A and B are shown apart, each in its own frame.
Chain A
Amino acid sequence: MGLSYLFFPGCSYETAAGYRESAEAVCRAVEVELKELPEWNCCGASAVFSLDRAEGVWLAARLAALAGREGKLEIVSGCNGCISALKKGKKLLLQDKGLMEQVRVRLKKENLKLDPADIKDLRVRHLLEIFVQDVPVQFWAKERPKPKFKVAPYYGCLFSRPDGEIDDNEHPILLESFISLLGLDVVEHSMGTACCGASHSLPHKAAVSVLVERIIRGIQTNNADLATVICPLCQFNLDSIQANFDLPPLPILYFTQVAGLGMGLPVSSLGLNKLLVPLKEA
């Protein structure tokens, strides 16, 4: 019997370039079940929290209550933005009794409930944490011919910020560990937690293009064949904005796609055809 988790996909999971396909293929191979959180809502991201803190907290509280209804105090997600918003909501709920009460009244209307003790114990984890910390090592480390890709890890800004709860907030190593577990070469560089520009890429394309160019250039300095990411917005910005400047193309893959390649899963099961910057050997 394998591991089973309550999974909060978030709104960008479906449109992400092969995230769902590859996550499902890899999870099958390592006997992890991701059970989708029923009736989930958007986390609110930076938008809702910017305009109305109480509404942002409500969205996080509702997700926590939905998880509670499934008998779980743990939510797994593959999006830095969702994880960050959930953790922010949790923190504010614990700080502010008034907000907590407001939220509980509103939850009642949906026949949901949230115990203050439960929100305290709620764990919000990235799928990458599950892969590195929970999945038995032998699943990843099997003897098999390895692709010769040199892989640059890219976390984006939010992975372990602001509190360094998951990993070091400036120099995390979880993704490096994972790439090594897969038996692939890790490319060191200094752009791992530089910000991709997030949703500013629509209103402020030129400004964000500068950030992305710096990241791509930094990664390419040490001859990476591809970069691997853990967040749909990072993937979208790094993948799509490369067309704005003149650097050699750098494929931006989800860590789940890299895992699939490292494990020798059928390439067709990894959604690589959805990338804008194609992976040549695929």
Chain B
Amino acid sequence: MQIDLAHYHRWEGRLRGPWYSALAVTRATLRQVFRRKVFWILLALGMLNFLLYFALIYAGTQLPGVGDRIMERFDFTVHPDAQRRNGYLRFMEQQGLVVMVMMAFAGSVIIGGDFRQRGVSFYLAHGLSPWHYLWGKWLAVAVLLGSVTVLPALVLFVEYGMFTSDFHYWWENKAVVVSVLGYGLVMAVVLGAVLLALGAWLRKTVPIAITWTSLFLLSAAWSEQLRRTTGDPHWRLLNLWRDIRCVGRAFFGFYARREDVQLAPWAAGALAAVVLICVGYLWAKLVHWRRWE
């Protein structure tokens, strides 16, 4: 120990604000997540589908004659067509499964451990308010989610333009970028809020994974059963994952079913309510977190 090093003086440099400090929370959280092999495996699984689509676009653009048939065979279209299909939307929805599994395992690492091991003390005593802490954690979820959905979808978009040497494609279809980002944002906001709330509440991996899976699978089963029994399509709003897809599809400008046009605003309302409840819970938990110990 070198006690003569101990002293204090005012910091003469420029300290960055707490919103910037929250980025350190994001970095540290992601580092924690990717220290575990299971997330690399899940990421690799997510990338398998991406590689398939990547190869599909490559074959579709580089193999004249055969390419179109391959694209058709896999029902992939880079331009929204008369049947209102969109390859990027299709890709992002298929990635949903990996997202669900990844999030189920990530909750404990991202936020559960902070409450289980009382690490929240460190954050809240370091120039961060609960909002900054939540912002940092949410960003980590968003990055994780974006890395298997938004980012690969944008890479596919860039790839198509490059392999066709049709750079106008990017400009003419710039709405695709907005749509992909919009869908990604809806997923990140809703899934992020739910995951953080569940993680803060249940803390450990197994309970979080079970509850997370049940939340989405059971809500889908219940909503479908209730809709069939009553004939009222509004029961579909109970299906959280469907609500996300319904609102996400709005960014692409079309819906899976005609009834979704009417249900979309309700779905957006349902998602907003879920997010508000989760954020409210997280806020109360952080402000009064010692009460829950």
Pairing of A with B: no
Q: A residues within 8 Å of B by Cβ?
A: none
